[in-house]
Amino acid sequence: MGYYRLILALLVAASHAGLTFGRFNPGEIAVVSFFLLSGYVMTALIDRHYLDLRRVGQFYLDRALRLYPQFLVYSLAMIAAAEVFGLRHLWMPAPPSLTSDFAQLTMLPLAFSERFPNMLLPQAWSLGLELMFYAVFPFFLIPGERMMAAYASGLVFLFAFCGRISPDWFAYRLLPGVLFVFILGSWVRRPEIRLGRAPLALGYALALAALIVALTIWPRLTSVCDMLIGLVAGLPIVYGLSRARIEGRWDELAGNLSYGVFLNHMLLLPIVERLLPSASAGVRFFALIPISIALSYVTFRCIERPAIAWRRTLRNAPASPSAVAANADPATLDRGLPDFLYAAASRRGSSAG
């Protein structure tokens, strides 16, 4: 899944560079696949290493060590670029403030992105949502309560779809309305014991029906349509990739680079705009790609890899035996699986895990 993650990160970058597909936002569509991948990978990670509620604290630390190192580096670099060189993107109309910077560096409040008029890394709102997902997911997965959580989240999404509550907030940005998307990804990895893949098929059918209604009979807001398009397009891809098990060092490398690309493009866009002031959005985006990938490689090697040993220490700590982990196919279990922005699983393990 490494190539797919890198493609998704580039779609987010394309969105911020000003490229769209008609009235649809490629970045918003791509983020939905990140949610699906997160549900898939976190299920594998917990099954393999943390399938005991007594280890939830270690799971949280594992995730913090995954998300924060590069995020903090690029956030601080954005602050320096704005303060020293006056480099600001569209989501930072004024110089950053100390209070806002500190709140954003904690990551979690970014899920409420509209409260920050000057965003350091506007795409990082989804990382705040990820932290919310990490906080609650073990308590649904381990006791076997995913179905109930999916029903409740789907109901919230339905209210947002009908316009009874904010569609942008509750059909896209906040966990109550999108938790079911993460759980669909989780069902790809581990089906329900009694129902198998029936909930997955039902969820996909309902999403497809809702998309048809949203595009034709009862037109809905763009954010709702983007969410449904991302779900209808992304779920078969994630399911297919989970069966294909595409592996190899290049796929692994692509996955390792995806997180840096996801984070660094907002730092690099103002630089590209200064270097190519009269170029079109498309030209700037394609000029951005090699720079973003190269910088991502540097920060992965220098910033990300030192934290890998800490996460492996956490994962190798003694844990209670798990019937699920014991009976699962060892070739598909997480062997240091990364989160939704990182490299795919590999039979020999991922260096990013």
Digit-coded pLDDT (tens) for 307-316: 877 888 878 8
CA end-to-end span of the chain, whole Å?
A: 13
Cβ burial of 68 (10 Å; 0-12, 13-18, 19+) is middle
Model confidence pLDDT, tens digit, residues 63-95: 999 999 999 999 999 999 988 888 888 888 887
- Banded model confidence at residue 334, pLDDT cuts 50, 70, 90: very low
Can you name the residues that pair with 24 across neighbouring β-strands?
A: 21
Euclidean distance between CA atoms 218 and 210, whole angstroms: 10
Q: Are 2 and 252 in contact (CB under 8 A)?
A: yes
Query: Does the pLDDT of residue 132 top 90, yes or no?
Result: yes
- Banded model confidence at residue 338, pLDDT cuts 50, 70, 90: very low
| Model confidence, pTM | 0.87
- Amino acid symbol at 58: Q
Largest separation between any pair of C-alpha atoms in the chain = 61
Query: Does the pLDDT of residue 331 top 60, yes or no?
Result: no
Can you name the residues that pair with 196 across neighbouring β-strands?
A: 192
Instruction: Give start and end residues of each alpha helix (H) in 18-124.
Output: 26-49, 56-85, 98-105
Model confidence pLDDT, tens digit, residues 95-129: 778 888 899 999 988 988 777 878 899 999 999 99
Query: Does the pLDDT of residue 177 top 90, yes or no?
Result: yes
